[in-house]
Structure 1
Amino acid sequence: MFGRHTHSTTSLKLIDNELSKHNLSLAQVLSELDPHQRKLMESKTRVPLEVFLEFQNKLESCTKDPLFMVKTISKFPRGHYNALEFLIGSSKTFGSALKNLARYVGVINSSMGMEAHRTQDKLIGQFLWLATQIPEPANQSEIFFSGVIHRMNLWLDQPVYPERVCFKHAPRVAISEYETTFKTTVEFGCFKNQLVWPADLYELAMPRHDGELGKTLQSHLDQVISESSIYAGIAKSVEDVVIRNLSSGDVQAKMVAEELGISVRSLNRKLNAENTSFQKILSQTRQAIAEKYLAGTGMSIEEISFLIGFSDRRSFERAFRQWTGQTPTSFRQSAAV
């Protein structure tokens, strides 16, 4: 699914203010978009992801600063994200605040997710790109992590920075500029996009903890997520049906269409309108689940092959090599590094 990005009039005003430091205005940047995209940005608070990505690209090209949004998002004031942000502030500890952010970040942007977990010596926040029909842009994990660090620090009496920031992609500017921006060590060419703090930060008390407020905000955000899922595109519905039926080994468009109560022709037409296809969703879902099992479980390759609907290991290995350029075994080995 493409997903949608939520922005506000306030965020555009803040961006406009930062643009003025480059002798530019928001109107000038918006004029670089095509008329349809510009109209959406000017009139909607929830726009298609591809439109907002193009807007961010124009911001970078117009300012000639690839880190423009990485820097700008760290200047948004407290309360900018409303309920989610106040839930962070009302959390009991730094770790629970990070987990709340991971749980509800989809309210802001359905194309992104985060996993937060603690190991014996590390507290980790991992960026997840969920817009499977769009290749992950390098700047998205950078902007996301800048926002996470800033959001967390707004609710602490003293700022806390990760001991390192890890990115899968190559640097887009000098590493020293990244480290100045993130105020910590920044590494590239990593296996995952991650923020890494010492594990003992998990128990760091949040100074504005409010348990009752937290419960109220969680209830509200759960309702927002529930209501938004009702209006999700057909691609997400297809993905859900595929996941439920993968291990049967016989997931076909006809079966999915019947479960959704539409004809195969209608299914294909609706998916085409969302710039995807049944076969693409099937392959991407299989790949995502296979990678998760290979990296996070000890299941054999034969077991994984069966669980994602392949009749034998050889067929799975051939498909996996087409998806990733690696064999399942080499992928598992690299994931363990």
Structure 2
Amino acid sequence: MTSHSRIKIPAGFWTGLNQLGIASHDVVRKARLPLTIITEPDVTTAQYLAIWQAYSDLIDDNAKGIIELMSGFETAHYPPSVLATYHARDYRDALKRMARYKQLCPPESLRIIEEGENCTIELDWLDIDQPGPPLLVGITLAFLLELGRRGTGKPLTPRSVEFTQAMGDVQVLEAYFGCRIQIGANCNRLKLHREDLDLPFASYNSELLEILTPVLDQSLNEQQRSRSITGMVKWITKRSLTGGRPDIQTVASELGMSDRTLQRRLSEEGTNFNHLLTQVRHEQAREYLADPSLDIKEVAFLIGYEDQNSFYRAFRLWEGDTPSNWRNEHLGTHSLNRHYLKEYNFSHEVKTGEK
């Protein structure tokens, strides 16, 4: 985990906790942090996660804590980046602004996918190696729904909600979200009815947006300029690989720039998009192959290859060997005994790719 990143604490955060009967100093002591942090404008990533974990430890149940914080946190306490979403034109505009301006306040990152009748929002993490505290995950997804409910004034319900970790009383969460809750999923995600995204916001305020948007965009652009564009592209590409090939237009859009601007920025850093895509696939292939719980067919899918033979050909170019041989050499036969039959069957199915 990196702890050098600074995260702004909303001015109303501690007030909101106090209104729920959770004393600020109790949270800080539980997190083993100095009391002076309550008045600090921002904290490190490690401190931020410690605060959320401490809050989780002080309540009886994560599910109840999520709902209490969502229901009790007043709109007036929203920071400017969130106000820009609350006063958006419609739910779609609000979610896009949320995903964009979330970059100003890591460690969470949002990915929005509109497909068919669904809009799926996936939660990922910046700068940390492990998933964030379950309470923070639940708060983040619940807020995305709460944003739609408050903005439209309608009791919106999602299609489904998925969490990777236990979240407390699932029945309490299902009553709040109004849909099925899945625990133990491979990703934290909120799946909405796509038609709900067209609902206008009663809280739409064009004058306020004209003030907030340029300021937030400038802050975001300054932040992006201070980072390596290569690193940002690799990170976005990495989390967009599964089951497909991310293109430069998609990545550029997520960064809030045109594909021509992105190409120019990458060129200035001595690289290009296709090279980074190949590099990310290679790095991820090695990482996934080091996990014996994944069979090679799954690895191919996870790095964006629908055709396993194409994955075999690409891997031989990268490593000069097949995925199966590379795995055997780097993991040893002992750790692969329980997966041997699965690997053998798959290798037989795609033996043309091994030639």
The TM tier, using the shorter chain, reads: 0.5 to 0.7
Indicate if the aligned counterparts of 1:92 and 1:209 stay in contact, CA closer than 8 A: yes
Indicate if the aligned counterparts of 1:239 and 1:285 stay in contact, CA closer than 8 A: no
Write out aligned runs for 1:4-83 (5 A): 4-19=6-21, 25-34=23-32, 37-39=33-35, 41-67=37-63, 69-74=65-70, 75-83=72-80
Change (3 A) 1:167 1:77: same
Residue identity matched to 1:99: K
Tell me the equivalent position of 1:225: 220
Indicate if the aligned counterparts of 1:166 and 1:186 stay in contact, CA closer than 8 A: yes
Kindly indicate whether residue 123 of structure 2 is the aligned counterpart of residue 121 of structure 1: no
Residue identity matched to 1:50: A
**Count of residues in Structure 1 that have an aligned counterpart in Structure 2:** 281
Write out aligned runs for 1:248-287 (5 A): 286-287=283-284
Distance in 2 between residues matched to 1:33 and 1:136, nearest whole Å: 15
Aligned-partner SS, 1:133: coil
Tell me the equivalent position of 1:87: 84
Change (3 A) 1:17 1:136: closer
Shift of 1:122: 0.8
Indicate if the aligned counterparts of 2:114 and 2:194 stay in contact, CA closer than 8 A: yes
Tell me the equivalent position of 2:349: none
What do residues 286-324 of structure 1 show as CA deviations (whole Å, max 9, x unaligned)? 3399879736554632466489x65554389639x97xx
Indicate if the aligned counterparts of 1:78 and 1:85 stay in contact, CA closer than 8 A: no
Indicate if the aligned counterparts of 1:126 and 1:193 stay in contact, CA closer than 8 A: yes
The TM-score with structure 1 as length reference comes to 0.67
Aligned-partner SS, 2:161: strand
Change (3 A) 1:173 1:151: same
Change (3 A) 1:32 1:157: closer
Tell me the equivalent position of 2:145: 149
Kindly indicate whether residue 174 of structure 2 is the aligned counterpart of residue 179 of structure 1: yes
Change (3 A) 1:213 1:301: farther
Unaligned runs of 5+ in 1: 247-258, 261-281, 331-337
Indicate if the aligned counterparts of 1:78 and 1:151 stay in contact, CA closer than 8 A: no
State the Cα RMSD in Å: 4.1
Shift of 1:44: 1.5
Distance in 2 between residues matched to 1:242 and 1:125, nearest whole Å: 20
What do residues 211-246 of structure 1 show as CA deviations (whole Å, max 9, x unaligned)? 5654553332221122334666xxx78945988xx9
What do residues 128-173 of structure 1 show as CA deviations (whole Å, max 9, x unaligned)? 122333344333321211222222322222232212211122x242
Aligned-partner SS, 1:19: coil
Indicate if the aligned counterparts of 2:113 and 2:120 stay in contact, CA closer than 8 A: yes
Change (3 A) 1:313 1:161: same
Change (3 A) 1:310 1:95: farther
What do residues 6-38 of structure 1 show as CA deviations (whole Å, max 9, x unaligned)? 213421011022125xxxx2223322333xx22
Among candidates 314, 323, 327, match of residue 323 of structure 2: 314
Q: Per chain length, whose mean CA-contact separation is higher, i.e. which structure has more relative contact order (CA < 8 Å, sep 6+)?
A: 1
Distance in 2 between residues matched to 1:199 and 1:242, nearest whole Å: 29
Among candidates 173, 182, 190, match of residue 185 of structure 2: 190
Distance in 1 between residues matched to 2:28 and 2:300, nearest whole Å: 39
Distance in 2 between residues matched to 1:242 and 1:183, nearest whole Å: 36
Change (3 A) 1:68 1:238: farther
Shift of 1:40: 5.6
Residue identity matched to 2:150: L
Identity of paired residues, percent?
17
Q: Name which of structure 1's ranges 197-206 and 77-86 shifts more when overlaid on structure 2.
A: 77-86
Distance in 1 between residues matched to 2:127 and 2:325, nearest whole Å: 24
Distance in 2 between residues matched to 1:223 and 1:94, nearest whole Å: 23
Change (3 A) 1:48 1:178: same
Residue identity matched to 2:163: F
Indicate if the aligned counterparts of 2:305 and 2:311 stay in contact, CA closer than 8 A: no
Change (3 A) 1:69 1:6: farther
Q: Name which of structure 1's ranges 122-131 and 214-223 shifts more when overlaid on structure 2.
A: 214-223
Shift of 1:47: 0.7
Q: Name which of structure 1's ranges 174-183 and 291-300 shifts more when overlaid on structure 2.
A: 291-300
Shift of 1:180: 2.8
Q: Name which of structure 1's ranges 63-72 and 146-155 shifts more when overlaid on structure 2.
A: 63-72
Distance in 2 between residues matched to 1:80 and 1:202, nearest whole Å: 24
Residue identity matched to 1:153: R
The TM-score with structure 2 as length reference comes to 0.64
Distance in 2 between residues matched to 1:56 and 1:228, nearest whole Å: 25
Indicate if the aligned counterparts of 2:109 and 2:124 stay in contact, CA closer than 8 A: yes
